Structure 1
Amino acid sequence: MARALRMIEEGALDEGSVEQLAARVGIGARQLHRLFVKHLGASPQAVAGNRRLLLAKQLITETELPFSEIAAAAGFQSLRRFNDAVRTVYRRNPSELRRASKASGTPAAAAISLRLGYRPPFDWARVLAYLAGRAIPGVEQVDAETYRRTYRLGGSTGTIEVTHQPDRHALSVRIDGAGALPVRQIVARVRRLFDLDADPAAITAALGDDPIVGPRLAQARGLRVPGAFEPFELAIRAVLGQQVSVKGATTLAGRVVQRSGTPLPSPRNGLTHLFPSPEELARADLSGLGLTTGREQALKGLAAACASGACELKPSVSLEESVARLVTLPGIGEWTAHYVALRALGEPDAFPSADLGLRKVAGGGVPIAPRALERMAEAWRPWRGYAALLLWTEPMLERTSSSAA
């Protein structure tokens, strides 16, 4: 269900069928339909249609985008279908909705600015601090209140800026770009980056009474697992972070971007480059950047696998399958595979049980065996990733973990 919803958010049913979506998550179309009706009260197509309409209405009332661009950004296959859907649900055509919004005093933004809601509480400061320590120079920039980054999706390139609106229980997202803006894909990626679909009540119910992670969760109300805007970028960052400090991995990532990334025509706010694509990184010369031969080969192998389609960093398979595929690549072990699954693929149950830091905290200062930690973590399913994040906040843990990614 979670994987299917993430794929719907990214537009899997805008052009594809329910049968194709079901095949990607490994079940039959009828079974997927039954699960959606049971847990959400609506079919997959109805869920996708509702999300298209909500985004379309937001773009109609909050921007000055032409309706043809709104229809495409929201995932409608034609302007006619867009107009029909809006009239059917809102009893007004798009022009009437926009006029009513202006009459009510709601300003339309020059750039695209959207609000993305979440279930409170939300620990914005903790998420922002985590991302700040790992921001890739030239690609990301984080200050006390704002997250900024460059993006490249389809034929569009540009920047996004994210700030917090705690009184509205939402994040404000500003999108500036060239070409047809892939608004829906950007929204889905920002939601994953900030873990906006997390259910704090469900996580607390599962972990709150645990003697090890429960007290830590009580001190971290609104916990979120910081995700990734671009899965390939996060995977490269994870490989660079193996056995080095967070600062060291960030420095290496900046060097890789300077060497093989695409410069922005008009840099601003410290944003200067697009992160290299798999194709660009696969053919790049990475010598002289301070990488070991093994690390350089691991980066090139990962990039080549993603460029060829042999490694798809998408939430279309189970956690076990994702990990099994990743560990076949040179230089990627269980730790890195689970880390990528947790942050890049949004798998809440990913758990790197071999991590030295986790084993040490779980053992009260003396590392326990990975198998022992796995048995202990059974009580934390299906939120083992959140439990890992809580344990990683232990003082000095950064220096003892298997990776500082």
Structure 2
Amino acid sequence: MKQTADIPTPGLDPDLCYRAIQAKDARFDGRFFVCVSSTGIYCRPVCPARVPKRENCRFVPSAAAAEAAGFRSCLRCRPEAAPGTPAWVGTAASVSRALRLIDEGALDEGKLDDLAQRLGMGERQLRRLFLAHVGAGPQSVAANRRLLTAKQLISDTRLPLAEVAYAAGYRSLRRFNDAIRQAYGVAPGEIRRASETASGGGIIMRLGYRPPFDWERLVTYLAGRAMPGVESVTQKRYARSFRLDGVSGTLTVAPAKKGHALEARVAVAGAGAGAALPMRRIAARLRRLFDLDADPSAIAAAFRGDPLIGPRLARVKGLRVPGAFDGFELAIRAVLGQQISVKGATTIAGRIVAKFGEPIDSGEEGITHLFPAPRRLADADFAGLGLTGGRISTLKSLAAAVASGALDFSPRETLEAKIAELTALPGIGEWTAHYVALRALGEPDAFPASDLGLRKAAGGGAPVATKELELLSQDWRPWRGYAALALWTL
């Protein structure tokens, strides 16, 4: 029998999809959804309910496509808990970037034309790409993501329903109530009463992924680069302070006890307890930090025949690219790491946090500060911290550009455009720009070809030339970032 791992994501093969739901194969959770005509409900491939008859099944690439076709979300398998869309849908890089912007709320208040312009295309072209690769238009996708976030917060937290509405991206309670009733046939309060999950001392969210997932290797990488005072990483959990949309607090993430998911607990600091939590943005950032939307089976299959990368990925299952919760923080860390050791850069980062960060009473051991805001570092006096004059100038220029809005850490229309935007800043070269694009933006094709470690690994110990590695890497597209991680760590 043909392995279900060979199912292509954009062009769904109905027969192979049906085999996947018969097997309840978690590797395909979120890659497609099954719409059941006899019930009017759509489900995940791993739904515990009895497998429907083949003639009653229609397969779509996204929850938004199922909603657009008039199907209701299953209350049993809970599509809101499914992994997200894979980081690359075929070659539709623009769709992937648009999805990341939608996750950050680009269409909650903004117009579709504004989103299209940020991606360097027209509205009509953007709609066409979404229909081809996602099965629904951008605005339908945004509405579906608001709905699924709201459903998860209703079921898994004890947030007041008014706070759930705003945390999910709704701008009025009426729209929130109408959306829930239309999607589930009941009021939000009835869903809340039917759920039994208690959130204890914080807000808990489950973040699904496709197995396999090498948690140990990922947190080992993050632990070696953890920002002192801001992050605390062990083999069992990742914790950090955060500040987002005027709300500050702490996050703790660990593998869930059941299922293929991480469990994130969000605790708000006292001063921000009355503010609306941007839960959808927090979830999107955590998914990027832990690379939860990757499809490791598909990535490994793409490298299977490559003599350099293939054997590495065959030895280690579920490799993920460690991302970043905050792009500005990661960019500062990348500048500090230019031409010095990881340990040296971490030490200086800790000095910057201690001197310029805002103290926070986190209740978590090792977490003492919020990372300094861009304006604070733009005006900071870095003397005595062990930095060269050139490095100080780069840090201040970077911070000033972010503080003024001239630079942000959202995707541009192409990877090349973002690299050009970053390298326009003094002291930011190709290596730093690609590293930031890979980890802060989740660009899976970013590849710092000038990196000495990559060049040595590619040459078996003797470094190859940058141009030679750049040429070799063309065969690894669109997943050169995973090739870089394999060369760095395996």
TM over 0.5: yes
Pick the aligned partner of 1:379 from 475, 483, 486: 475
**Correspondence for 2:448:** 352
> Which residue is equivalent to 1:33?
127
Deviations 1:282-341 (A, max 9, x none): 011111011111111111111111111222221133210111111121211110110001
Counterpart of 1:292 in structure 2 is: 388
Deviations 1:94-130 (A, max 9, x none): 111111114xxx3344421010001111111111100
Deviation at 1:61, TM superposition (A): 1.4
Matched ranges for 1:6-405 at <5 A: 6-102=100-196, 106-165=197-256, 167-177=258-268, 178=272, 179-266=275-362, 268-393=364-489
Please list every run of at least 4 consecutive aligned residues from structure 1 whose deviation after the TM superposition is greater than 4 angstroms.
Answer: none
Contact 1:74–1:184, Cα closer than 8 Å, also in 2: yes
**Deviation for aligned residue 1:34:** 1.1
* Contact map agreement 2:334 2:435 (CA 8 A) in 1: yes
The whole-number CA distance in structure 2 between the counterparts of 1:299 and 1:95 is 49
Q: Which moved more, 1:230-239 or 1:63-72?
A: 63-72
Residue type of the alignment partner of 2:147:
L
TM score, norm. by length of structure 2 = 0.78
Please tell me whether the aligned partners of residues 62 and 109 of structure 1 are also in contact (alpha carbons under 8 angstroms).
no
Partner of 1:2: 96
Contact 1:252 1:290 in 2 (8 A): yes
How far apart, CA to CA, are the structure 2 residues paired with 1:25 and 1:7?
10
Counterpart Cα distance in 2 of 1:217 and 1:232: 30
Question: Are the structure 2 counterparts of residues 266 and 380 from structure 1 closer, same or farther at C-alpha, using a change threshold of 3 Å?
Answer: closer
Determine the C-alpha separation between the residues in 2 that align with 1:363 and 1:145. 35
1: CA distance, partners of 2:177 / 2:324? 34
CA gap of 1:109–1:80, structure 2 versus 1, over 3 A, is farther
Q: Is the 8 A contact 1:19 1:28 kept in 2?
A: yes
SS at match of 1:116: strand
Letter in 2 for 1:115: R
Which SS does the other structure have where 1:180 is aligned?
coil
Does the Cα contact within 8 Å between 1:4 and 1:316 map onto a contact in 2? no
SS of residue paired to 2:456: helix
State the one-letter code of the partner of 1:183.
Answer: M
With normalisation by structure 1, the TM-score equals 0.94
Give the conservation status (yes or no) of the 8 Å contact 1:7–1:316: no
Letter in structure 2 aligned against 1:163: A
Distance 2:343 2:199 in 1: 41
The alpha-carbon distance between structure 1 residues 266 and 354, as it changes in their structure 2 partners (threshold 3 A), is: closer
Deviation at 1:367, TM superposition (A): 1.6
Q: Distance in 2 between matches of 1:110 and 1:88?
A: 32
Listed as ranges, the gaps of 5+ residues in structure 2 are: 1-94
CA contact (8 A) 1:139 1:149 kept: yes
RCO higher in structure (CA 8 A, sep ≥6): 1
Give the conservation status (yes or no) of the 8 Å contact 1:359–1:368. yes
C-alpha separation between the residues in 1 aligned to 2:251 and 2:412? 26
> Residue 245 of structure 2 aligns to which amino acid in structure 1?
G
State the percentage of identical aligned residues: 63
Post-superposition shift, 1:133? 0.5
Matched letter for residue 118 of structure 2: R
Q: Which residue of 2 aligns with 1:403?
A: none
Deviation at 1:357, TM superposition (A): 1.7
Q: How far did 1:167 drift?
A: 3.7
Contact 1:61/1:108 (CA < 8 Å) preserved in 2? no
Secondary structure at the counterpart of residue 69 of structure 1 = helix
Q: Which amino acid aligns with 1:211?
A: P
Per the alignment, in what secondary structure is the counterpart of residue 251 of structure 2?
strand
Contact 1:119 1:199 in 2 (8 A): yes
1:201 to partner: Cα distance: 2.3
**Alignment deviations for residues 9-28 of structure 1 (CA, whole Å, 9 cap, x no partner):** 11111111221111111111
Name structure 1 gaps, 5 residues minimum: 395-405
